[in-house]
Structure 1
Amino acid sequence: MMEFRDLKTQYEKYKEEIDAAIHEVITNAHFIGGKEVAELEQQLADYVGVKHCITCANGTEAMTLVMMAWDIKAGDAVFVPDFTFFSTGEIVSFRGATPVFVDVDRDTFNIDPVKLEQAIVKTLEEGKLTPKVVIPVDLFGLPANHGEIAGIAEKYNLLVLEDGAQGFGGNIKGKRACSFGNAATTSFFPAKPLGCYGDGGAIFTNDGDLAKLLKSLKIHGKGEDKYDNVRVGVNSRLDTIQAAILKVKLKAFIDHELDDVNRAYQLYNERLTGVVETPIIPDGYYSSFAQYTIKLKNKEERDELQAKLKERGIPSMIYYVKPMHEQGAFSDLQFTDDDFAVTNELCDTVLSLPMHPYLSVEEIDKICNVIKA
């Protein structure tokens, strides 16, 4: 059976290093806050190119912590792409604020800057909510249009939180994902470009005051220590075993995995260009390919192809079947369906194919032959 994201082959390749790293943590018995956590944070900050990295329990908590630190609350508007995973909007509602969904660019799958500005202007004109934050998502490994988004945010005095859950390892002209905005977050969910063996997440920022506040909030609002509580926080830590695993995997990620996943992208494109719509990577952008996502002509063609791949033992996934504005949890929000034409189309036509650094040419040939047939 072919793997959609092959974590088993990766483990076989790095079994000795991963086992040794886990064994050291168990021997030392520092399961929470062991030295590996601080070492990993330093390595991640250095790689991304920011001053501070604060690890936490998962990618959703990472965003929640930033919302807490920025005091986002009822009456605030936070602009979120309509085509993304639920958590990007969930963390806004969780704080009592209102997510304002924005349609995406058909080529990149990322938030459309023109439509973003229109949504901000509309929100200001309505006068019910105060625009506070925009959360661009680096979808499928491709950084969002951070240059234009930064300009819009500055114009309307908004904070920018880069959701780099899928984007870690991508870059724009060498500036790495998770270094954009006022703060950025990522996820170490196992299937992500850099994943651990459970849940994990991290926040990145150059803002020293924000970093200090986040370190307090993630451990029960601690002051000098965890028994000196100066604010109400949460309990959101990356455990030492996960940090130890991530240290091994980060080295592999930098040494070859990013290159290998981009090689797989090239091989797919060579075989599928002109057959289906293949991913578009704009000039100057580099994707870490959390997913390799093609577009079909319509829902029927997409669903038929997915069934044919399944018959041949080839896994595929639909990200995302349902747009944010149609999620039941957001049914109390007011919007016009016509504002989400691109997202509505994408939900019916996208299909993500197996994508990981350990994909063989034979596997890619097999997948592409089924698609061509």
Structure 2
Amino acid sequence: MDKIMQSRMDRGFFRHQDEYEAKALEVLRSGWYILGKEVENFEEEFAAYVGTKYSVGLASGLDALWLAFKVLGIGKGDEVIVQGNTYIASVMGITINDATPVFVEPDEYFQIDVDKIEEKITDKTKAILVVHLYGQSAKMDRVQELCKKYNLKLVEDCAQSHGACFDGKMTGSFGDIGCFSFYPSKNMGAFGDAGAITTNDPELARLMKIYRNYGSEKRYHNMVVGANSRLDEMQAGLLRVRLKYIDEINTERSEIAKKYAEGITNPLVIKPRVRDGATSVWHQYVVRVKDCRDEFMDYLAQNNITTIIHYPIPPHLSEAYNYLGLSEGTLPVTECYANEVLSLPIYAGMTDEEQSYVIDCINSFK
């Protein structure tokens, strides 16, 4: 068996190669490469897909996060609640604005434990940042109740959850702002860095467009100190092609996850579960392996199967956040997951043979 990568993007491209190449040539020949019709059309189409009134294209998912808190007016002296077991970009979106992250442990589904949020709310709390980790929606009904009760802003990190739903409503449509990454490895990946926000608030959408373009609504009239975070025409055009097939991509990944769930029987491997009412688009298929994860990972590598740890160092223990003074043991569930999780291969175009080989190798591990 040839090497099986944990994630690969070429097969998704080749499946619709003619459309991608035709769109790329169309953009190149248009002579317009920044903030043109491709961006406008993508914003309209993506908002319609998510179920919001507005979408604003940006240069990356991190920009979506930090600009979200910027336009919401959250900054120094403010606290934002966020789960501990997330990629560090989620936390950077808070701290770039000089606000303080307040960490909450995850639940058994790897999502923020909604039963542990309320005890962390103080008079400094201004928002909750929900991360729909690995492609599964968090329990949004309870989060919305808490935001309403305490008058908090709700920001969603949907970098991994394009198309995931809770009670039939899509992630990115629950909060004040939904933040999306279109990094190439995402279910709805671009062919470079790209991101977007979604919102139902026209003023937030207007401010986001101002901030993404050097703080300018009208050329050379700068209202605020903004950023250079424009989704370019090429990525917007290619994302319009990808958007046509996102449901197909998500269905395919769900079928792979189902095959893993049914086929993996090794008792050393704890398989992921999906909460009632939630759906997952399986951006990652994350298992837990207690006590022998490194040995298991090495065994799979020896059998030409690549795996990745998402994520080995929780943000609160990273060097970047030493200043928060949170020592090891502060978030025991988060830290436990960091020591046990492992992401198996899953990607568009993964063959039945590859899936079966991965399952057989896992079941043969002792």
Alignment correspondent of 2:162: 168
Q: Retained in 1: the 8 A contact 2:62–2:89?
A: yes
Structure 2 residue 351 is the aligned partner of structure 1 residue 350: no
CA distance in 2, matches of 1:369, 1:83: 30
| Offset from partner CA, 1:84-114 (integer Å, 9 cap, x none) | 0011111211111111111111x21111112
Instruction: Sort the Cα spacing of 1:167 and 1:113 in 2 relative to 1 into closer, same or farther, 3 A.
Output: same
CA distance in 2, matches of 1:19, 1:360: 24
The CA deviation at 1:162 is 0.4
Alignment correspondent of 1:9: 11
Aligned length: 361
Alignment correspondent of 2:255: 263
Q: Which runs of 5+ in 2 are unaligned?
A: none
The CA deviation at 1:34 is 2.2
Q: Retained in 2: the 8 A contact 1:220–1:229?
A: yes
Q: Which runs of 5+ in 1 are unaligned?
A: 125-129
**Superposition pairs for residues 59-74 of structure 1, below 5 Å?**
59-74=61-76
Q: How does the TM-score come out when normalised to structure 2?
A: 0.96
2:309 to 296, 318, 336: 318
SS in structure 2 of the partner of residue 331 of structure 1: helix
1:43 to 32, 42, 45: 45
Paired AA for residue 358 in structure 1: G
| Offset from partner CA, 1:220-252 (integer Å, 9 cap, x none) | 1113x2222222211110111111111111112
CA distance in 2, matches of 1:351, 1:155: 37
**Superposition pairs for residues 1-373 of structure 1, below 5 Å?**
1-105=3-107, 107-120=108-121, 123-124=122-123, 130-223=124-217, 225-254=218-247, 256-273=248-265, 275=267, 276-298=269-291, 301-335=292-326, 337-373=328-364
**Among the aligned pairs, what percent are the same residue?**
34
CA distance in 1, matches of 2:119, 2:162: 29
The CA deviation at 1:60 is 0.3
CA distance in 1, matches of 2:358, 2:16: 27
CA distance in 2, matches of 1:138, 1:72: 21
CA distance in 1, matches of 2:245, 2:88: 30
Which stretch of structure 1 is more off in the superposition, 131-140 or 330-339? 330-339
Q: CA RMSD in A?
A: 1.3
CA distance in 1, matches of 2:276, 2:144: 19
CA distance in 1, matches of 2:325, 2:6: 37
Paired AA for residue 227 in structure 2: V
CA distance in 1, matches of 2:167, 2:105: 25
Paired AA for residue 255 in structure 2: R
Instruction: Sort the Cα spacing of 1:118 and 1:337 in 2 relative to 1 into closer, same or farther, 3 A.
Output: farther
The CA deviation at 1:261 is 0.7
SS in structure 2 of the partner of residue 199 of structure 1: coil
CA distance in 2, matches of 1:16, 1:6: 19
SS in structure 2 of the partner of residue 136 of structure 1: strand
The CA deviation at 1:365 is 1.1
Q: Retained in 2: the 8 A contact 1:55–1:201?
A: yes
The CA deviation at 1:46 is 0.6
